């Protein structure tokens, strides 16, 4: 018998049969993802319910040097959660909120708790967990921390890494590391929890996390404004962040608005005419006094200085949600338009207009009539730079140019001092580009750490390197 077959026999005989399955029908949803880009295969799916069960699984896999892939909500965009013949461990059943403390402003969630459920639990406690992504109904806390997810509130609250005190994890030898605490100060050597954040499951399986909660704002004002160019939107950002109330600042091109309002049911632009660019923003206030006046004042300043062409302030919760839906549906709205080559890049905020201009010019010169659609988190310099195929072009022919397109985009990113992965991670998708572009000392330190913790390379073995 092969080592994989021996491992499967050991897992099936030593674990409760409720937590494993090799029924291909039950496995199917775990082996495809919403974009249809990644497809997986596995001989066995494991759905442990406790940290001890995760540890038991990893000990068996470690003893046989058998590789294992970890999956949370299966919303990752770089292919890391999709097994290619490895055993698949889903955290879906690690879904309890173990504790929530108002005074400590902290909450301990198991890894498989969805982001939406974590937000709701914080809300029930009278506090806020500010991580916010369009995938929040499905993505999990473990996945969010392993990818160091960003989302729309990074400019005020930081990325997932900034929203956690510590984690509990099962290490590649099956040992349980307990970094759960709610201490705001703890200088007792290396911060080992941090090592696991953004590690994409290559150094340990996060089983629970102690999350940082924040006071709920008394009032949030949501605005959609229209701008002539990314440079004008940036000038508006400089006005909008005065007073430190800004918690979201998202850029949408008119092509994106056209796709969303055409391809997603019940979506309408709040403006009667189209504009080249739009910005969706939130201002949060700790008091309910003076918020409206503050917003109107900043919008008039931006308008008088010519940075915005029009603006609407959401007058109700449902209007605020309708404005957000225009941004949240941007990814889904690109699907019917054909193949898209996607990038998740970050540059210094000041360089976003230059990046968009240079990338659009270079790509249109290389692939005439391609349709660049740059959108996303202007407030923190993170742009999702998607390029749609020219109308009528064969999708496969367009996708065959992916590497050339990537090199054009990433060369510009490098020249502007940016990063080729802002918030989605490296996974499978970007590992060649990382190898090509990474600082050599960083690459060698990362390999040293991986080898020290996982000498047999059993955890998420195909990722990053």
Ligand X SMILES: Cc1cc2nc3c(=O)[nH]c(=O)nc-3n(C[C@H](O)[C@H](O)[C@H](O)COP(=O)(O)OP(=O)(O)OC[C@H]3O[C@@H](n4cnc5c(N)ncnc54)[C@H](O)[C@@H]3O)c2cc1C
Q: Does 144 bind ligand X (CB under 6 A)?
A: yes
CA distance 142 to 148: 10
In DSSP terms, which residues pair with 220 in a beta bridge? Answer: 284
Q: Does 164 bind ligand X (CB under 6 A)?
A: no
CB of 90 to ligand X, least distance (A): 8
Q: Could you say which of 74, 193, 386, 389 contacts ligand X (CB under 6 A)? A: 74
Q: Does 324 bind ligand X (CB under 6 A)?
A: no
CB of 118 to ligand X, least distance (A): 11
CB of 205 to ligand X, least distance (A): 4
CB nearer ligand X, residue 106 or residue 140: 140
CA distance 201 to 459: 7
CB of 146 to ligand X, least distance (A): 3
Restricting to residues 6-45, name those near ligand X by CB under 6 A. 34
Q: Could you say which of 40, 48, 67, 80 contacts ligand X (CB under 6 A)? A: 80
CA distance 265 to 280: 20
Q: Could you say which of 172, 283, 460, 462 contacts ligand X (CB under 6 A)? A: 460
- For residue 308, how many other CB atoms are within 10 A of its CB? 27
CB of 68 to ligand X, least distance (A): 10
Q: Does 51 bind ligand X (CB under 6 A)?
A: no
CA distance 260 to 124: 33
Please count the residues of the chain: 465
Q: Could you say which of 67, 76, 353, 381 contacts ligand X (CB under 6 A)? A: 76
CA 137 distance to own-chain centroid: 13
CA distance 121 to 117: 6
Q: Does 291 bind ligand X (CB under 6 A)?
A: no
Q: What is the DSSP string of 314-370?
A: --SHHHHHHHHHHHHTHHHHHGGG--EE--EEE--GGGHHHHHHHHHHHHHHHSTT-
Q: Does 333 bind ligand X (CB under 6 A)?
A: no
Q: Could you say which of 48, 72, 166, 353 contacts ligand X (CB under 6 A)? A: 72
Q: Could you say which of 146, 269, 324, 389 contacts ligand X (CB under 6 A)? A: 146
C-beta pairs of 449-458 under 8 Å, 24+ apart in sequence: 449/195, 449/203, 450/202, 450/203, 453/171, 453/172, 453/203, 453/204, 454/172, 454/202, 454/203, 456/62, 456/65, 456/172, 457/67, 458/58, 458/61, 458/62, 458/65, 458/66, 458/67, 458/68, 458/172
Q: Does 140 bind ligand X (CB under 6 A)?
A: yes
CB of 50 to ligand X, least distance (A): 13
CA distance 175 to 181: 18
Q: Could you say which of 45, 107, 139, 255 contacts ligand X (CB under 6 A)? A: 139
Characterise 87 by phi-psi region: left (phi > 0), alpha (psi -120 to 50), beta (else): beta
Restricting to residues 172-211, name those near ligand X by CB under 6 A. 200-201, 205-206
Instruction: Draw the binding track, 104-123, toward ligand X (x: CB under 6 A; -: no contact).
Output: -------x------------
Strand, coil or helix: what is 222? strand
CA distance 206 to 51: 9
Tell me which residue has tokens 């005439």.
368
Q: Which residue is nearest to ligand X (CB)?
A: 143
Tell me which stretch binds ligand X (CB under 6 A): 24-32, 141-149, 301-309, 433-441.
141-149
Q: Does 374 bind ligand X (CB under 6 A)?
A: no
Contact positions vs ligand X (CB under 6 A)? 34, 70-77, 80-81, 91, 111, 133-135, 139-140, 142-144, 146-147, 149-151, 200-201, 205-206, 331, 423-424, 427, 460, 463
């Amino acid at each position: 018998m092969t080592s994989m077959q021996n491992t499967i026999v050991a897992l099936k005989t030593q674990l409760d049969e409720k937590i494993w399955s090799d029924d291909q029908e039950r496995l199917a949803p775990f082996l495809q993802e919403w974009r249809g880009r990644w497809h997986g295969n596995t001989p066995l799916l494991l759905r442990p319910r406790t940290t001890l069960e995760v540890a038991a699984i990893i000990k068996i896999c470690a003893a046989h040097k058998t590789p294992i892939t970890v999956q949370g909500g299966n919303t990752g965009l770089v292919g890391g959660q999709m097994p290619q013949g490895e055993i698949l461990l889903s955290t879906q059943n690690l879904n309890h909120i173990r504790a929530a403390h108002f005074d400590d402003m902290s909450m301990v969630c198991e890894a498989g708790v969805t982001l939406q459920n974590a937000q709701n639990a914080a809300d029930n406690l009278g506090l806020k967990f500010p991580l916010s992504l369009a995938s929040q109904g499905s993505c999990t806390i473990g996945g969010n921390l392993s990818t160091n997810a960003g989302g729309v509130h990074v400019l005020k609250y930081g990325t997932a890494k900034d929203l956690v005190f510590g984690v509990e994890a099962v290490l590649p030898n099956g040992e349980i590391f307990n970094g759960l605490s709610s201490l705001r100060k703890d200088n007792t050597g290396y911060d080992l929890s941090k090592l696991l954040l953004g590690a994409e499951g290559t150094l340990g399986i996060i089983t629970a996390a102690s999350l940082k909660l924040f006071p709920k704002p008394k009032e949030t004002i949501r605005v959609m404004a229209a701008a002539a160019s990314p440079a004008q939107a940036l000038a508006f950002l400089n006005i909008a962040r005065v007073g430190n109330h800004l918690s979201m600042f998202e850029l949408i091109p008119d092509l994106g608005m056209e796709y969303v309002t055409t391809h997603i049911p019940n979506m309408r632009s709040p403006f009667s005419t189209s504009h080249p660019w739009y910005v969706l923003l939130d201002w949060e206030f700790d008091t309910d006094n003076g918020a409206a006046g503050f917003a109107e004042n900043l919008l008039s300043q931006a308008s008088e200085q010519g940075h915005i062409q029009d603006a609407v302030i959401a007058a109700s919760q449902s209007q605020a949600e309708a404005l957000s839906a225009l941004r949240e549906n941007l990814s889904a709205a690109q699907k019917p338009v054909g193949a898209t080559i996607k990038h998740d890049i970050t540059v210094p905020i000041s360089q976003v207009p230059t990046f968009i201009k240079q990338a659009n010019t270079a790509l249109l010169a290389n692939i005439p009539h391609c349709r660049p659609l740059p959108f996303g988190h202007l407030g923190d310099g993170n742009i999702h730079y998607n390029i749609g195929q020219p109308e009528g072009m064969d999708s496969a022919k367009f996708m065959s140019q992916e590497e050339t397109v990537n090199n054009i985009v990433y060369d510009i990113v490098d020249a502007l001092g940016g990063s080729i992965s802002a918030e989605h991670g490296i996974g499978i998708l970007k590992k060649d580009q990382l190898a090509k572009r990474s600082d050599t000392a960083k690459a060698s330190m990362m390999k040293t750490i991986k080898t020290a913790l996982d000498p047999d390379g059993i955890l998420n073995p195909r990722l990053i390197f």
